[in-house]
Amino acid sequence: MSWLDDLEARLEQELERFLAANPDQEALLQDQEDRDHRRELLSQRRSLQSQAERQRQALLQLAVEIRQWQERSRKARSAGATDLADRAEAHGESLMQQGRRRWQELAELGVRFSELEQAITALAARQAEARRAGRGVDLERDWAAFEAEQELERLRRRQG
């Protein structure tokens, strides 16, 4: 184990001790980590959306090319140029294969997008729960302070 690993382990232990002694700081740290994670997930979602849009545009362009080559093949065949028609058909088939691969890639992007959406939803639910739990702690603390203040007022009145 190198000195850097030792230092990292000691710092990690110090952080754990600090957070154990200061639960409110731990909640703040978790909240910051959640916000950073959400920002990263949203960035990934935007990236997937732009990839999917590029993929859709490429598929549309490919469809235009396939139609052109199918038309060229028909023209060549009707003109008796069977060799040229066969080559045009082969090229069209190659474009169709490329299109199938792109559709598969687009479907995979869709799956990744769905997984990302689920992660974003789960994170949002966890953040909402943490906020609700935090409000409960704040409410308990505020209520205890209120009761203490009421008791002090009662004692002051009784004293004089």
User: How high is the pLDDT of residue 137?
Assistant: 58
What's the rounded Cα separation, in Å, for the pair 156 and 150? 10
Q: What percent of the chain has pLDDT over 90?
A: 58
**8 Å CB contact between 51 and 73:** no
> pLDDT band for position 41 (50/70/90)?
very high
Between the two ends of the chain, the Cα-to-Cα distance in Å is: 69
pTM metric for this prediction: 0.65
pLDDT, the chain, mean: 89
> pLDDT band for position 76 (50/70/90)?
very high
pLDDT mean over 34-57: 95
Predicted confidence (pLDDT) per residue in 88-113, tens digit: 999 999 999 999 999 999 999 999 99
User: How high is the pLDDT of residue 22?
Assistant: 77
Q: Which CATH fold topology does 3-159 show?
A: Helix Hairpins (1.10.287)
Instruction: Break the chain into its structural domains and give their ranges.
Output: 3-159
What's the rounded Cα separation, in Å, for the pair 85 and 62? 19
**8 Å CB contact between 105 and 55:** yes
Is the pLDDT reported for residue 133 higher than 80?
no
Look at 22 and 112; give whichever has higher pLDDT: 112
